[in-house]
Structure 1
Amino acid sequence: MANAFFEIREPENEPVYSYAPGTPEREKLKKELERQKQQQVEIPAIIGGKEVKTNRSADVVIPHNHSHKLGTTYLCGEKEVEMAIESALEARKEWAKMPWQDRAAIFLKAAELLSGSWRYKINAATMLAQSKTAYQSEIDAVAELADFFRFNAYYLQEIYQDQPDSPKGMWNRSEYRPLEGFIFAVTPFNFTSIAGNLPTAPVLCGNVSIWKPATSSVYSSYFVMKLLQEAGMPDGVINFLPGNGADVGNPVLENENLSGLHFTGSTGTFQHLWKSISDRLEKYNTYPRIVGETGGKDFIFAHEEADVDALVVAALRAAYEYQGQKCSAASRMYIPESLWDEFREKFTAEVNKINMGEAEDFTNFMTAVIDQKAFDSITEYIDYAKEADDAEIVLGGDYDDSDGYFIEPTFVQSHDPHFKTMEEEIFGPVLTAYVYENDKFEETLELCDNTSPYALTGAIFSQNRYALKQMDEALKQAAGNFYINDKPTAAVVNQQPFGGARKSGTNDKAGSAANLMRWISIRSVKETQEPPKDWTYPFMKEE
């Protein structure tokens, strides 16, 4: 063991490439897109470092061109889960004892590979398999994931350096142990960075993980797993198990060595997993840590003194970037009647300029939603709004799944603040506005706070500082990430740690030391330098 104190200097956020015309990165990315489109990839499970193919498989297709097959993924079940758990527990014997700087070195190398030779490979994979534009994919799959790797290593160093006071005669120490057992990481389709962070944040702390990626984004997740292997991740520390939810989840939850769940996905699935864990508490060797981020019904609230032009841009980007498939996407708006006509006119004019089509066409602002299930769910809400008496489609509302799962950016005006699309999570390019009377500002703030069970993100707009303060106080519990005169999306690691409360999750703030602390079990050590030799105390002596 090296006799030195090692230091990781505070990182800087990874620069985001623009991919503007004429830039070299634009041409490199386009070449990589064509290369990946011309091949098909087999995506097996990776258990103990070995590729495992099962007798069940599924096609991986491009959402904006669903007749184009990118590859085949092999689906896991109970047998593969048992193999993965055995592999993880065996790997833990050495990994948990690995000096922290050696664990951190793997992730620092992964970040360098990702921002260097792997940049276009990961970016193109995310664009094709998840229908993200070049810029949205760059922010997610490259910049944010590299930031997670670098800043998590830096945060871990800060945690380890936090030590208790030691009065004269003793030396007190805090040891930051990994949890016993393994972590179950269940990752979503919409962010490659989240898919990469959920299994790796606990692993950085010395844990081992079972990673079940979303089947609809398994393509980019597989690339991330291969990146980690190239960076030097030891076999068995992360076991990669594609598969349907229950086929992987049920046998994982039955194992007594489960020590944690790191989850991002739907509210229903998270609640099911939490309940399943609670029903099995007696069989586990430890109380599993549960960390989850689920959904949102994210809002934009405009005061009568809001800057309308800024409001238009924020609403457009927040509602329609990545087709509204962000848990932070703006889904409901509250607009004073004095601004409504101007906002509606300007917003409609700007939204009508949006191009929608294939992600490979860099002139497109929007592409397709992720799959048929999402397409059907989102369009049901649009049809409901079309037929309702207390709402109207202001713009958009058309959709087509013949070639890809395309849904127009849709804007609904509701005359009922409790209209279905004002209250329920849609996870698509549908924004609903409720126009309130100017003199009902305070009443509408209360309405905004109480309408949704979620509390993930929200934004307020005003040029009046007193109004901003009032809005801030009224909506204190309505969002874990709160934005003033800005859109409620695009949290950055080390700048806006991300997470929400209420039914949006446990608010353990991915991209911060707070999240890492959930994967650590502290041992307090007291070493007495001159132990007492007399068991009696002074108060026991006679007068």
Structure 2
Amino acid sequence: MSDRNPSPAGGPLVEGPRDPEHDATASYALEPEYAASLTRRVLATTGRTVEVRSPLNGAPLAHIPQSSAEDVAAAYARARKAQQAWQRVSLDDRAAILLRLHDLILERQDEIIDLIVWESGKARKHAFDEPLHVALTARYYARTAHEHLDTQRKLGVVPGLTRVEVNRVPKGVVGIISPWNYPFTMALCDGLPALLAGNAVVAKPDAQTMLSALWGAQLLEEAGFPADLWTVVAGPGAEIGPELVARSDYVCFTGSTATGRLIAQGCAERLIGCSLELGGKNPILVLRDADLERAAEGAVRAAFSNAGQLCVSMERMFVADQVYDRFVERFVARTEAMSLGASLDWGVDMGSLISQQQLDTVTRHVEDAVAKGARVLTGGRHRPDLGPYFYEPTILEGVTPEMTCFGEETFGPVIALYRFHDEADAVARANAGEYGLNASIYSQDGARARAIARFVKCGTVNINEAFAATFASIDSPMGGMRQSGMGRRQGAEGIHRYTESQSVATQRLLRFGPVLGMSDATYAKVMTANLKLMKKLGRA
């Protein structure tokens, strides 16, 4: 694996302090006033701050103000006031602001990407996915606003006399709790359809990557969204998370299954809805007729994009006996050819893990597997020479159920390989465990692969692709089955979750009861005859 050093970049970065141990990765730092301008967007009055540092080299990034329960209450008060005015803004005007946001993001993408790389440690090409995804989301919902939100006519009980319409009414204020692994897109993509539907948002991004989320909030305002329609609070989830659940009309959460359960319990207690994208132990199947070069290229992206810190990345790979050895040779070779580095360049294939906690988890999983008999085909080492949290992309063979990484999510650049002979057995093994977020199938027979996909218990399945085909197709829903979550982002479901459906029926002439002196018994007979007639006429 080759290593790369950083190069200068414009925008938010300035020459920074040099560290003798990591001299190559410590040449730049975040411009202090730039960071301060972003942190001022946090609604916080406690006077407390938390320092955050770059995972690339440990350089200080910012001191994030911390919100109190009272600050959260104030955020919701502001949001409710803003939402009351916002829901009266025409749908076309709301959509126009989303299209302005689309253009702003594409125009400012270099600055956005610089900040994402510096704050998250990921490779630049993986950071690029974030403004791309947010721009796609903004454009999609702007262009399909009327399709999803216009009042729809429905069948009335009495043809010609009962007019039924279904309105999409905003829920009010949506609480969005977003993770650190994709700090720009996850902070924004779920909230854009909420705004379009007429809601306000109170957002709590993860503490490790607040700056990317705050930059997103600033862009929303520049695009034309009213002040207080998108308010940001900051603080430990255990402290202010319950306040968000207690004050929201709907909660959208992306993160761990354990936290998702707590949020679901809080929402159930209040009888409000929630959508949860949670953990995964995602499988990839390489069938005997797969294009092995394409499968090996896809497997590298599937396992090692963002150093494996992606909810839909793959940690289990099932390969047909007939092609196993040839595939593994290609996969290992491509993995060993990857370039690693703490860099703002486009030439890096994989960046850093986010924190010491993630590094500890990855190290523990690999060491446990090796101690119990697994073989490391490549990787398996911490690389402090590149940065504090770098870990090599790692391929394991011989992983068995008693090993921690067999069933637990690693959320790092580690994948385990398994042979299979029977495809039905491979599907059963892919479905084993409690998760069901994303899967991938490689085969040159698309129809056969799509037929197999129906039996894979995952919310998204990609054919001859790792994850981007479903994730970037904004018109289709994305989410998990089983312990990987509930609800969906994207598509119609991604915006309808933020609305209440309201049926309005207007009745003309005929009333529902005896008329013209009918008895109740006669009325019942007339209505029964009408039902039989409607069936004969093919009416619903």
What is the TM-score normalised by the length of structure 2? 0.85
Of 325, 328, 333, the match for 2:309: 325
CA distance 1:457–1:207, change in 2 (3 Å): same
Structure 1 segment 31-50 matched on structure 2, within 5 A: 31-32=10-11, 34-35=13-14, 37-40=29-32, 41-42=35-36, 43-44=38-39, 46=41
Distance 1:542 1:178 in 2: 43
CA distance 1:189–1:537, change in 2 (3 Å): farther
Structure 1 segment 235-384 matched on structure 2, within 5 A: 235-255=227-247, 258-278=248-268, 280-281=269-270, 287-384=271-368
Distance 2:305 2:134 in 1: 19
Q: How high is the sequence identity, in percent, across the aligned residues?
A: 23
CA distance 1:81–1:536, change in 2 (3 Å): same
Q: Which residue identity lines up with residue 277 of structure 1 in the other structure?
A: C
Distance 2:60 2:399 in 1: 44
CA deviation vs aligned residue, 1:463-511 (integer Å, no higher than 9, x gap): 3568536633432xx2211122222345214355322211111141x22
**Hey, which bits of structure 1, 4+ residues long, moved more than 6 A?**
none
Paired positions, count: 494
Structure 1 segment 32-111 matched on structure 2, within 5 A: 32=11, 34-35=13-14, 37-40=29-32, 41-42=35-36, 43-44=38-39, 46=41, 52=44, 54-66=46-58, 68-111=59-102
Distance 1:385 1:209 in 2: 43
CA distance 1:528–1:304, change in 2 (3 Å): closer
* Contact 1:210 1:239 (C-alpha < 8 Å) held by counterparts: yes
Q: Which residue identity lines up with residue 448 of structure 1 in the other structure?
A: A
Shift, 1:170, TM fit: 5.0
CA deviation vs aligned residue, 1:408-436 (integer Å, no higher than 9, x gap): 00110025367432321111000001123
Distance 2:452 2:521 in 1: 66
Q: Secondary structure at the match of 2:61?
A: strand
**1:399 corresponding residue in structure 2:** 382
**2:135 corresponding residue in structure 1:** 146
* Contact 1:106 1:231 (C-alpha < 8 Å) held by counterparts: yes
Q: Secondary structure at the match of 1:344?
A: helix
* Contact 1:144 1:493 (C-alpha < 8 Å) held by counterparts: no
Q: Which residue identity lines up with residue 164 of structure 2 in the other structure?
A: N
**2:535 corresponding residue in structure 1:** none
Distance 1:259 1:214 in 2: 21
Q: Secondary structure at the match of 1:239?
A: strand
Q: Which residue identity lines up with residue 158 of structure 1 in the other structure?
A: E
Distance 1:250 1:473 in 2: 37
Distance 1:245 1:274 in 2: 14
Q: Secondary structure at the match of 1:175?
A: strand
**2:442 corresponding residue in structure 1:** 461
Shift, 1:526, TM fit: 2.5
Distance 2:187 2:255 in 1: 11
What is the TM-score normalised by the length of structure 1? 0.84
CA deviation vs aligned residue, 1:78-137 (integer Å, no higher than 9, x gap): 121111121112222212222222222222211111112x22221211121112322222
Shift, 1:290, TM fit: 0.8
Q: Secondary structure at the match of 1:229?
A: helix
* Contact 2:446 2:463 (C-alpha < 8 Å) held by counterparts: no
* Contact 1:45 1:53 (C-alpha < 8 Å) held by counterparts: no
* Contact 1:501 1:507 (C-alpha < 8 Å) held by counterparts: no
Q: Which residue identity lines up with residue 133 of structure 1 in the other structure?
A: A
Q: Quote the RMSD (CA, aligned, Å).
A: 2.6
Shift, 1:165, TM fit: 4.2
| 2:526 pairs with 1:536 | no
Structure 1 segment 96-175 matched on structure 2, within 5 A: 96-116=87-107, 118-140=108-130, 142-161=131-150, 162-165=152-155, 167-169=159-161, 171-175=163-167
Structure 2 unmatched runs, 5+: 1-6, 15-27, 523-540
Q: Which residue identity lines up with residue 234 of structure 1 in the other structure?
A: P
CA distance 1:80–1:45, change in 2 (3 Å): farther
CA deviation vs aligned residue, 1:450-474 (integer Å, no higher than 9, x gap): x221111111223356853663343
